[in-house]
Amino acid sequence: MIQIKDLHKSYHMGSNSLHVLKGINFNVKEGELVSIMGSSGSGKSTLLNILGMLDEADEGEYILDGVPIKNLNEKTAARYRNEFLGFIFQSFNLINYKSATENVALPLYYKGIPRKERIAKAEHYLEKVGLKEWSHHLPSELSGGQKQRVAIARALASEPKVLLADEPTGALDTKTSYGVLELIQEINDEGKTILIVTHEDDIAHMTKRIVNLKDGVIINDSIVEQVRANQYV
Amino acid sequence: MFNIERWQEIFETLRKNKLRTFLTGLSVASGIFILVILLGFSSGIENGVTSEFQQDATNKVSVRTRRTTKGYKGLNPGRYIQLKDEDFTSVNATYDDNLEYRSASYSIWGGQITYKNESGNYRVRGVLPDEQFIENASLVQGRFLNLSDINEGKKVAVIGNKVKTDLFKGKDPIDKDIAIWGINFKVVGVYTDPGGEREESNVFLPLTTVQNAFNGGDNIRDMAFTVKMSENFKEAVELSKNLTLAIENDLKQKHIVAPEDTAAIRVYNTLEEAKKIYSLIDTIKAVFWFIGIGTIIAGVVGVGNIMIIIVKERTKEIGIRKALGAIPVSIIAMILQEAIFVTMFAGLFGLILGLGLLEIVGPHVDSPFIKFPQVDFKTALTTVFILVAAGALAGFIPAYRAAKIKPIVALRDE
């Protein structure tokens, strides 16, 4: 599903140049649940942003579902993001003046799906994440866990090939985190490819594979025994 | 533009951001409102000033005489120059092509007029029929003097509105006899004059009648003409100036008056005065337009400012939308369409409010210099469109910049 070869990325801030990714190689097969770990500054978020086409690599190859992602113009990048990827952010990134349903329906709007169908689909996914009764609430009326569930529903709504989660539990307490992880595991069980960036060990062990990043290179990439989140909930 | 989905998205955004929508709208609406009021009062002042100086025909040339102040060709100063019927006839004949209306007059000062028990002092003037047009008088009742009145020396009178109210106390004056210095005249008409009360306290009699009845002989006190107006105002001013000089010259030669003696024979032309007034009106108009355009510029800057703030405030939202698959064009279109819709709606609202206020308050403005403040609807509508277009342009730049921001940068914005 994802093939990455010799990926490099530097940031330039004034006269300083920061080499963040120093040659990353890894592949993700369909249906995998991968966590990318590392301390802050290890380059894990940068890697995820490149995977999410939110940022561009300086060098190297990135193939997503057989499509090379290189020198995309804004329009194509936007279309690929819409078709291939679902994002889950640490700070949820919901639009605060839109209700849960409208937030979930937004990627479908950019897909060009008619309003009625959009709303129906959005409600279906909200039900899937267990927020059917909250569909008309604004993000400000929801708890952190609920917000993240809305964000997950939104990521799922456009039926992407890959879900990318950037510290999805970073802003949540442990109990809520496990709830969110349980949901992510369920989605993965249905066959969705999911990548999670995290620095929490317990969260990482709930995935099926851990990729360890340090100073811009992969120092460890291993399959782990998955810990089911539902045993904690 | 006709994408229903996008309109739904926009209306939803507007509905959920009421304060922002309201503030944007308010600045646009008040800008247009102020502009409409300004333009309205500018046209009101124009109307007022124009009508204030409309008491006589604007293209009038008048001739008056006094005593000479300088000796000339052996004649002593202090000689009274008396105009005669033949002076009038000769000016008339010489400049026939350029003259429109012509009248000569012989006035009696302090003419005491009596009707039954009422009496008062008014200016009594013996005139020719054309005087009506030279004085800009319009009839409210009856008729003005006509040629047969002049030829037959009839004892008829046309009185001003003021005279009518003073003497007749609301009764019908037509066919009633008024006495002037003991001679009876029959009232045949009542006139009104845009110049107001002072201009309406005249009594007009046939010139010949006055000359006969009051020992005038063939003397006349003054003459007045109007110049034929050409299409071009400048040309008309030039023509009337030349005519003035020529008539003055002729009369001075005929009456043996020194060319530099400006007091003895004076020929005025009102067109040159009118020119000054019109240029004053033009200046007033220019000032109002200047203020108006200033207001528009302030409005555009205001809208642009609000747009920048809106885009800034929505940076994160734009980032989210881009992450979810929005293309840059759709971001620009969304922001612009929203801005244009709000400014257009608010602009029209301000326009209607301004026009409405002028419509209601306009007729009640009680000042001689402001009359019928009104705005040309087309002008006002044009300014609304200018404001909308300029606002959109001012909004385009931040919208374009916002669409260019990398989603990752926009998402980091807190």
Q: Which pLDDT score, from 0 to 100, does residue B57 have?
A: 60
Q: How far is A88 from chain B (nearest CA, A)?
A: 10
With cut-offs at 50, 70 and 90, classify the pLDDT of residue B188: very high
Exposed, middle or buried, B84 (CB in 10 Å: 0-12/13-18/19+)?
Answer: middle
Which domains can be identified in chain A, with CATH numbers? 2-231 (3.40.50.300)
Nearest-angstrom CA–CA distance, B158 and B304: 65
**Per-residue pLDDT reduced to its tens digit, A183-208:** 999 999 999 999 999 888 999 999 99
The residues near A57 (Cβ < 8 Å, ≥ 6 apart) are A7, A8, A9, A21, A50
Judged by DSSP in three states, B62 sits in strand
Cβ pair B157, B203 in contact under 8 A: yes
Q: Nearest to residue B216, comparing CAs of B317, B331, B127, B280? A: B127
All structural domains of chain B with their residue ranges:
4-52+277-412, 94-220
Nearest-angstrom CA–CA distance, A133 and A99: 12
pTM of the model: 0.65
Q: How far is A55 from chain B (nearest CA, A)?
A: 7
Judged by DSSP in three states, A89 sits in coil
Of B128 and B368, more confident: B128
Q: Largest alpha-carbon pair distance within chain B?
A: 107
Q: Which pLDDT score, from 0 to 100, does residue B231 have?
A: 67
Cβ pair B50, B368 in contact under 8 A: no
Nearest-angstrom CA–CA distance, B103 and B202: 16
Side chain identity at B147, as an amino acid letter?
A: L
What tokens does B360 get? 């209601």
Cβ pair B395, B324 in contact under 8 A: no
Helices B270-313 and B18-52, packing angle to 10 deg: 180
Inspect the interface and report whether the beta carbons of A83 and B17 lie closer than 8 Å. Answer: no
- pLDDT above 90 as % of chain B: 8
**Per-residue pLDDT reduced to its tens digit, A18-69:** 888 999 998 999 999 999 998 888 888 888 888 988 888 888 999 998 889 8
A55 in contact with B, Cβ within 8 Å: yes
Site from A97, A102, A141 to mutate, B interface, most B CB atoms within 10 angstroms:
A97
**Per-residue pLDDT reduced to its tens digit, B378-387:** 877 887 888 7
**Per-residue pLDDT reduced to its tens digit, B190-226:** 998 877 778 888 899 999 998 888 888 888 988 998 8
Q: Is the pLDDT of residue A6 over 60?
A: yes
Q: In which element (H, E) is residue B193 found?
A: none
Q: Closest chain B residue to A112 measured between Cα atoms?
A: B5
Exposed, middle or buried, A56 (CB in 10 Å: 0-12/13-18/19+)?
Answer: middle
With cut-offs at 50, 70 and 90, classify the pLDDT of residue B187: very high
Alpha-carbon distances, residue A168 vs A86, A195, A203, A233, B412 (angstroms):
13, 11, 10, 17, 15
Of B111 and B333, more confident: B333
Exposed, middle or buried, A202 (CB in 10 Å: 0-12/13-18/19+)?
Answer: middle
User: Measured between CB atoms, which of B5, B17, B406 is closest to A115?
Assistant: B5
Name chain B contacts of A98, Cβ cutoff 8 Å: 12, 16
Q: How far is B404 from chain A (nearest CA, A)?
A: 9
Query: Which ipTM was obtained for this model?
Result: 0.88
Q: Nearest to residue B299, comparing CAs of B30, B66, B101, B103? A: B30
Inspect the interface and report whether the beta carbons of A102 and B12 lie closer than 8 Å. Answer: yes
Exposed, middle or buried, B349 (CB in 10 Å: 0-12/13-18/19+)?
Answer: middle
Inspect the interface and report whether the beta carbons of B327 and A78 lie closer than 8 Å. Answer: yes
Nearest-angstrom CA–CA distance, B145 and B346: 58
Nearest-angstrom CA–CA distance, A120 and A99: 14
